Amino acid sequence: MSARDVLLQIAQVVTVLGLAPLIQGIIVQFEERAQRAQGPGIFQPYRDLWKLFHKQIVIPQTASWLFWITPVVAFTCMLTVPILIPVLTDFPLPLSDMGDILGGGLILTLGSFMIILAGLDTSSAYGGIGSSRAVMVSILAEPTLILVFVGITLLAKAMLPFVVNHLLVASWAAYWSPAHLFLVAAFFILLLVETDRMPIHSSTHIEVYMIEEGRILEYSGPLLALLKWASVMKQFILYTIFCNVLILPWGLSMRGTALGALGAAAALILKFTFVACLVVIVETCQSRLRFYRYQEPLAASFLLAVLAIIGTQLT
Amino acid sequence: MLIQNLSPLASSLFSLLAIASLLLSFVMLGSRWLKNYLSAFAAESWIIAALSAAVGYYGGYPELYLIAILTLLFRGLLLPYLIWRIIRRLDVAREIHEILQPASSLVIGAFFVMFALAVSYRVAAEFHLELTVAVLALTVMLSMKLIGFLMLAVRHEAISQILGLLVLENGIFLGSQILVPGMPLLIELVILFDLLIIVACFGVLVGYLLTHVGTTSTLGLKRLVG
């Protein structure tokens, strides 16, 4: 373990921490532009976080200790996952073998699990609705996510994301194999689900329609800022997995020089802008469905994951 | 036999086309709108026509080009046009009373594909076809047949039942193109005319349903008369 590798690992976490609000800003800005509106500018999430960190904390009387630790746990989970996945470098860094793909998935889910508990903890009506809806969706999303991970594992014969990245860069046959394409499609649907961009999510901010935001309605001030930051970081991490492991495995630093890491960060912004365009196009073209059709995109994603696993068996 | 000595490019092209047609039959299974069924069926037929032409090119069967053109004309254009005429005459745009939600039928379809894979491994081992293309062709054929049966069983709009039957037939045709490409031309012609007759019969059936039962749902046909 060299000092350079440790620094690179810290740089990965800092990249996720610093660039996550920017990606959120880019997506929101694209969305506004697609709807022919002016848009708040791509740096708005930073200003929102700044504003929230300077506000007072108001705690509901019904809240317990869970309410306090949830933002911290959620934020820490999102700080842990970037250690495990290829954000800047395509070779494993000192602590990258701490967990495999399933371990990363577990930590990501732990964050949303704590937020669901916190939504129930304050016993407010909207928190309960938000938590129950989020659980309904994640009950169906979770098995599919595991199946996608199983598919990735069977494709690369390894559970580390770095191996998948190397395999896809090395061989075009693996990149264009049906198994990989199905995995990309299945994970894209999961990406929309996990970042609240399914067709059942409403674009208007009314409590009755809320799914994920309903859980954090009771938070205020710096705690809310931590939760918002954690949610944009989760989005960033999922985009990183989607780009660097599945769809665009190029443009990572191979030797780990400072210049290479900077280039990789710039490439990340470019890739994410591309994926954000895709997401905004899908979100704009797809009409909004009623909530009780939430199972349809997830069933399609499940089906694609199963087909991907069958595809890996045939090659 | 053709599939014993295929070049890697040809075998990957065949797998891609076979999997694309399987995916299109899942589009039919997961949708509610009759128009979607119809366009997915037409696209599936075009893909199968392309597959016939590819098998003809790589296997050196010139008569398969003729079959590809006939498939394109009959399955890809004429049959969808006839069914589209029936749909236009009716007032039905979608399945109204679903026995099974599209989401659940997609999941059941996924299990069918797994079952088909298991069966085709056995069948391929029995006939010493250890190549992946053969197993894939068998899997796609069996799962398209099972999906066709599922569509016949859980849909009861008359139009979706015709399309279920046609998907079933498309599956058999696709499998035969890859596994036994040298089938005589005459049999193909007979099958195509059979399909025309099936669609015409269903047109008559739909007319009967409209005048006597009042809907196009086959759920009204419960009583046995004879």
ipTM of the complex: 0.81
- Averaged pLDDT score across all residues of chain A: 89
pLDDT tens digits, A203-237: 677 777 788 888 888 899 999 999 999 999 999 99
- Report chain A's terminal Cα–Cα distance, integer Å: 37
Structural domain includes residue B151: yes
Q: Inter-chain contact B106–A303, Cβ cutoff 8 Å?
A: yes
Across the interface, whether the CB atoms of A300 and B30 are under 8 A apart is answered yes
A295:B103 CB<8 A: yes
Cα B149 to Cα B71: distance, rounded to the nearest angstrom? 22
Model confidence at A156, pLDDT cuts 50, 70, 90, reads: confident
CA distances from A205 to A144, A208, A211, A217, B193 (A): 29, 9, 11, 11, 57
| Nearest residue of chain A to residue B12 (CA atoms) | A177
Number of domain units in chain B: 1
Q: Could you give the residue ranges of the DSSP H alpha helices within chain A?
A: 3-34, 44-53, 65-84, 101-121, 125-156, 161-170, 172-175, 178-194, 221-240, 258-285, 295-314
Half-sphere exposure of B160 (CA within 13 A, CB side): 32
> Are B114 and A306 an interchain contact pair (Cβ–Cβ within 8 Å)?
yes
Chain B residues in contact with A314 (beta carbon < 8 A): 15, 132, 135-136, 139
Tell how far CA A187 is from the center of its chain: 11
Whole-structure pTM value: 0.88
Question: Which residue segment(s) compose the domain that A90 sits in?
Answer: 3-314
Rg (CA), chain A: 19
Kindly give the parts of chain B with pLDDT less than 50.
Answer: none
- Cβ distance of A302 and B104 shorter than 8 Å: no
Contact B102 A307 (CB under 8 A): no
Domain for residue B109, yes or no? yes
CA distance B203 to chain A (A): 32
Which backbone phi and psi does B94 adopt, to 5 degrees?
-155, 165
Residue of A217, A200, A215 lying closest to A293 (CA atoms):
A200
What is the per-residue pLDDT for A197? 82
Q: Is A143 on the interface with B (CB under 8 A)?
A: no
A31 pLDDT exceeds 80? yes
> Counting Cβ atoms within 10 Å, is residue A170 exposed (0-12), middle (13-18) or buried (19+)?
exposed
Q: What is the pLDDT of residue B4?
A: 66
Closest CA to B222 of B213, B160, B214, B204: B213
Q: Which residues of chain B have a CB within 8 Å of the CB of A302?
A: 106-107, 110
| Any B CB within 8 A of A3 CB | no
Q: What angle do CA B101, B106, B109 make, to 5 degrees?
A: 125
Residue A255 pLDDT grade (very low, low, confident, very high; cuts 50, 70, 90):
confident
Distance, CA of B169 to CA of B141 (rounded, Å): 9
How far is residue A225's CA from residue A235's CA, in Å, rounded to a whole number? Answer: 15
Identify the pLDDT of residue B3.
63
Q: Do B104 and A299 touch (CB under 8 A)?
A: yes
Number of compact structural domains in chain A: 1
| A299 touches B at CB < 8 Å | yes
Across the interface, do A314 and B135 touch by the CB < 8 Å criterion?
yes
Domain assignment present for B1: no
B132 Cα to chain A: minimum distance (Å): 6
Geometric angle at alpha carbon B9, from B8 and B12, rounded to 5°: 85
* Burial label, A259 (beta-carbon count in 10 A; 0-12, 13-18, 19+): exposed
Facing residue for B110 by CB, picked from A298, A302, A315: A302
Q: Is A315 on the interface with B (CB under 8 A)?
A: yes
Alpha-carbon distance values, A224 to A50, A122, A135 (Å):
11, 15, 21
The alpha-helical segments, DSSP class H, found in chain B are 8-30, 34-59, 63-71, 79-89, 102-126, 132-154, 158-179, 185-208
Print burial letters for A32-53: b (CB count within 10 Å at least 16), e (below 16). Answer: eeeeeeeeeebeebeebbeebe
Query: Which of A299, A303, A314 is facing B132, going by the closest CB pair?
Result: A314
User: With an 8 Å Cβ cutoff, are B26 and A299 in contact?
Assistant: no
Reading the block at residue A19, the tokens are: 């660039």
pLDDT at site A315: 64
Chain A residue with Cα closest to B29: A300
pLDDT in the model for residue B200: 85
Which A residues in the span 188-207 are in contact with B, Cβ-Cβ below 8 Å? none
- Closest CA–CA distance from residue A215 to any residue of chain B (Å): 27
Q: Is A139 on the interface with B (CB under 8 A)?
A: no
What range defines the domain where residue B179 resides? 8-220
